[in-house]
Structure 1
Amino acid sequence: MTPSPAALLNALRSAWGWTGVEFAEVIAHSLMGHMLVTDRHGAFHYLDPDVGAVIALGDEAAARAHMALEETQVVWQADALVSAAAARLGPPAMGEVYSLRPQALIAGDYSPDMLIRIDLVDLIYLSGDIARQIRDLPDGAPVRLRSSTEGID
């Protein structure tokens, strides 16, 4: 089932509200759960669940320019990851995307056995929670995962 716009916004506001962004609309999302969103002022932002960041882009022209960058397209399309995930896990169901297991999100481990299929709303909650918990930690700091999201290993 495809998540409703309201469900996506509720998840963004709850899980990523600590960033100060007042989410208003999801413009698009990739098969790896990256999102192009707007805030209540009409500014565009890029949500990257892999690195736990919401990147301010600015107006629509700035967002178009960012999305047209080759490096952005490589990350957005993630052809090798999507192919590996599809081969190992099958196509995502309606409302699902591919992502990394929680421990792989933290470690940056993009190996195919760390890929999962996950509901986009669940990924928003999970990645926002992880990003909030580790945002001030130095690289290499030990991390102990605590999440209320069930069924994700």
Structure 2
Amino acid sequence: MNIIEAIKESWSWVGIEPEEIVGENDFGNLIVRDYRGRYWRLCPEDAYCKVIAENRNELDALSTNQDFLADWYMAALAEQAKEKLGPLQPGRKYHLVIPGVLGGEYGISNIRTVSQVSQIHLSGEIGKQIAELPDGAKVQLRVIE
């Protein structure tokens, strides 16, 4: 399965109709252009996929925002992950085992590598399950094999 298909399958519930991946980082965050020319950010560690720019001009403006860039590149954490886990193999991304949105630590003890397609599916499922919960709600994780 390719990345676009995985996004369609796992994130269509937010309204995204992905056409092209225009950016990605080592933690599997994606910037996706949809068929209407809007740009979405899929953020696996926080289990969201939302519009960040209505058009290319807005995306270009965002690309000069230092806060956005620091959050996007996650440079220090990416460097730690590379040192501990090695360089990424094709089709794999660094991944927070317990997502940040569920209280997972942004630290090396909570990072592994994972197939990017699996990461998209997992984050979409988590995002869908917690979408309506208020901030601070308690959740219980259950692993089903």
Q: TM-score, normalised by structure 2?
A: 0.89
- Uncovered stretches (5+) of structure 2, i.e. residues with no partner: none
How far the C-alpha of 1:104 sits from its partner, in A, is: 4.8
Are the equivalent residues in 2 in contact too, given 1:33–1:49 (CA < 8 A)? yes
**What secondary structure, in the 3-state scheme, does the structure 2 residue paired with 1:32 have?**
coil
What is the aligned partner in structure 1 of residue 79 from structure 2? 83
**Alignment partner, residue 115 of structure 1:** 111
Q: Is the 8 A contact 1:16 1:128 kept in 2?
A: yes
Q: 1:1-153 to 2 correspondence within 5 Å?
A: 7-56=2-51, 57-102=53-98, 104-146=100-142
- For residues 140 and 105 of structure 1, the distance between their equivalents in structure 2, rounded to whole angstroms, comes to 10
Q: In the TM superposition, what whole-angstrom CA distance separates every residue of 1:79-113 from its partner, at most 9, and x where no partner exists? A: 11111111211111011111200355521421210
RMSD (CA atoms): 1.9
Q: How many residues align?
A: 144
Q: In the alignment, is the contact (CA less than 8 A) between 2:98 and 2:104 conserved in 1?
A: no
With over 3 angstroms needed to count, the CA separation of the structure-2 counterparts of 1:66 and 1:12, relative to structure 1, is same
CA contact (8 A) 1:98 1:115 kept: yes
SS in 1 for 2:140: coil
Alpha-carbon spacing, 1:70–1:103, altered in 2? closer, same or farther (3 Å):
closer
Q: In structure 1, how many angstroms separate the alpha carbons of the residues matched to 2:107 and 2:100?
A: 9
> TM-score, normalising length from structure 1?
0.85
Uncovered stretches (5+) of structure 1, i.e. residues with no partner: 1-5
- % identity of equivalent residues: 29
The CA distance in 2 between the partners of 1:110 and 1:124, in whole Å, is: 19
